[in-house]
Structure 1
């Protein structure tokens, strides 16, 4: 049993509260169970109760055992001086305030029905993947849809935190923030952090100035990654190296020390050389990229914005000096979808929120037009009867699994609470 079950029982009065007595054999009446704020300090604030003939207003603390009060050292914490009731599953010791007055205790196990306890035990018993895997597909559709929306925006808020961090580092320059965020996405999981450090190492004002020649941008990107730190007879390599050295001196750039770029385990079309060339071409051909992504509303508009391919040299190369059959190497639809899900939509959400605008419906509509992600988690949910038809639903399911199921937060989950009623 976990304390969150007791929080649920107390908050929603899922016990027989008609004839309560404290462990000290005094009549107890609950007028208001209090506010469950989930912050530091007591579990429930501003509760109101009557013990005997005395009315009390204050806070309620909940533990599995009375002795947990001392295990958690609440006796030395001033935040707990205003606790008027200690609610526990099992009363195993008396608890006293600093002035040696005893804190009244309510032992819940005397008042919780066998059926409620069985529901909880069944919900939280070990399964093959998640606790509710046998019942989740039976949850009321209205409840599940509302929960999906909350999960989606929780995930969106979490994804916007790194955006806010970059924004602060760029002194509230949204265009520079977009550049860093997009660079990270182009680097994929393997090189994402490296690509972002590269982007952060070049002031965005320089990117603006040099965007009129794609070779200058490629020179900056390749030079900052260290991919030009050797000698080659390749003419394009020599040209980029010359351009980079010139820009390095002209703009008085500082040297950067980053981990080596990784080619290993990537398909050739995902090689960092290809992604850097695509990134350079994006900023060469879309001079007002930030404005474009903020004002775009439909999926076709975004696909048009990110209709980008590599420079001529990289159509016949994956690495310097090694010629390969000619290929255009454009950004694929699946890549743009992931870019929208993980970067553009969180940034657009954060930007519009900073402007005091609510674009929730627009973002849901956009994600509903994007195909569902395909991964192990989405496949597992499908096996248990929960289908994901689009990216809005797959993002919600990822949030559910990663933030609730993985941490056994059943009593904070609408699915778990609904099943507890069954």
Structure 2
């Protein structure tokens, strides 16, 4: 048994509540069990109980054994002085607040329905190699339950991404344009080069790029120079275009005191990448975007639908980079594909707009933005294929994002009792009230 099981039992009050009493014999009435809390501090704050003739307001703490209170060092933490009830499976030891006062204990070991515990153990007893603990039992869960959980998982995933961008926004001096630039730059790395592109955005301030946005030659020199791709190399010794960029970057590097702040060639990943996804190709696409779009954030915010956003990402790159994958290495280079655009919309545009909408309190914009995911085709990968095989709906990017969130946030870490599907499978049909 895990502690999560007792959290679930207490949250839903799935135990025999007949003649409730604490371990020392005080009659107990649960007026409000409190609200589940996952950050530091007691598990269920805002609880309301009646112990004997006295009503108490405070927090409830959950442990498998009462002695876990000491193992977790709660006796040294004043935050736990607000605990008014210690709910445990086994009351093996009295516990005290920091002032020495005893904390009432409720032991649930003898009050758990046998069917509930059996359902819980059956769910979690699947072999570790099994992709989903609930897979053999999914036939017992209604389509509505699945849909509700996927809707919740989707919103959680979007919120988490929006939270990260809100932190970035604060770190960039509350500048939405800079936030859009940093988020786009990192996303153009498409995982393999996300980290170096994120670093490039930090060592090449947007303010400098804005001053040279209208001059494609200077903009290209700044981007490729700070990225380390204009260093001397035998492949470009006689390449007039690269030699010209080197000279321009040398001037700009000294002008803006950028010497020693850029990246090096070894910071970039080319291994096992198709040439169309080389970081040099992505840099050229970013140059084209900065040159063509004077205001990144406003354009992303005002785009009404997916076609408008696809238009935003449809820009020309400098001519040289249409025929070179790397400096001095010719080859026909395709433009940014629609599938890449859709990933950028999913991973940057949607969370960026949601972060802004929350900042200004515009709930309509949140809903309209999340709805963009329903206009995008579904992603196909090994995770979505797994859930496809189990009968989960998978038609749009909204479905894909929900399935990824479900897999990473609940199925992989075995957080079954936090999931509506797992909770339904464990839920008893009849519990004594």
TM-score, length of structure 1 as denominator length: 0.92
Matches within 5 A, 1:164-175: 164-175=166-177
Residue 251 to residue 58, structure 1, CA distance change in 2 (3 Å): closer
Q: Tell me what 1:258 maps to.
A: 263
Counterpart of 1:295 (choices 259, 277, 302) is: 302
Following superposition, which runs of at least 4 residues in structure 1 exceed 6 angstroms of deviation? none
Structure-1 separation of matches of 2:80 and 2:252: 61
Secondary structure in 2 matching 1:40: coil
8 A Cα contact 1:310 1:329, kept in partner: no
Structure-1 separation of matches of 2:317 and 2:349: 21
Q: Does 1:275 align with 2:282?
A: yes
Residue 122 to residue 229, structure 1, CA distance change in 2 (3 Å): same
Moved more, 106-115 or 131-140: 131-140
Residue 405 to residue 99, structure 1, CA distance change in 2 (3 Å): same
Matches within 5 A, 1:4-19: 4-19=4-19
Secondary structure in 1 matching 2:311: helix
1:309 deviates by 4.2
Q: Tell me what 2:431 maps to.
A: none
Q: Tell me what 1:86 maps to.
A: 86
Structure-2 separation of matches of 1:43 and 1:405: 22
Q: Tell me what 1:403 maps to.
A: 409
Structure-2 separation of matches of 1:166 and 1:99: 42
Q: Tell me what 1:74 maps to.
A: 74
Secondary structure in 2 matching 1:6: helix
- Per-residue CA deviations over 1:198-225 (Å, capped at 9, x if unaligned) read 2222232322222223222211111001
Residue 41 to residue 183, structure 1, CA distance change in 2 (3 Å): closer
Q: Does 1:233 align with 2:235?
A: no
Secondary structure in 1 matching 2:285: helix
Structure-2 separation of matches of 1:100 and 1:361: 51
8 A Cα contact 1:182 1:343, kept in partner: yes
Q: Does 1:221 align with 2:228?
A: no
Moved more, 235-244 or 149-158: 149-158
Structure-2 separation of matches of 1:210 and 1:154: 39
Q: Does 1:307 align with 2:314?
A: yes
Q: Does 1:381 align with 2:387?
A: yes
Structure-1 separation of matches of 2:139 and 2:261: 52
8 A Cα contact 1:184 1:196, kept in partner: yes
Counterpart of 1:412 (choices 398, 418, 423) is: 418
Moved more, 92-101 or 388-397: 92-101
Q: Does 1:321 align with 2:328?
A: yes
Say how many residue pairs are matched: 420
Residue 320 to residue 43, structure 1, CA distance change in 2 (3 Å): closer
Residue 253 to residue 134, structure 1, CA distance change in 2 (3 Å): same
Q: Tell me what 1:352 maps to.
A: 357
Q: Does 1:178 align with 2:184?
A: no
8 A Cα contact 1:137 1:385, kept in partner: no
8 A Cα contact 1:310 1:328, kept in partner: no
Which blocks of at least 5 consecutive residues in structure 1 are unaligned? Answer: none
Q: Does 1:203 align with 2:205?
A: yes
8 A Cα contact 2:188 2:197, kept in partner: yes
Structure-2 separation of matches of 1:120 and 1:59: 26
Structure-2 separation of matches of 1:361 and 1:407: 29
Which blocks of at least 5 consecutive residues in structure 2 are unaligned? Answer: 429-433
Structure-1 separation of matches of 2:188 and 2:100: 63
Secondary structure in 2 matching 1:175: helix
Structure-2 separation of matches of 1:54 and 1:173: 53
8 A Cα contact 1:262 1:272, kept in partner: yes
- Per-residue CA deviations over 1:359-408 (Å, capped at 9, x if unaligned) read 23212321011111122211111122213211111111111111222222
8 A Cα contact 1:372 1:392, kept in partner: yes
Moved more, 266-275 or 69-78: 69-78
CA RMSD of aligned residues (A): 2.2
TM-score, length of structure 2 as denominator length: 0.90
Residue 339 to residue 233, structure 1, CA distance change in 2 (3 Å): same
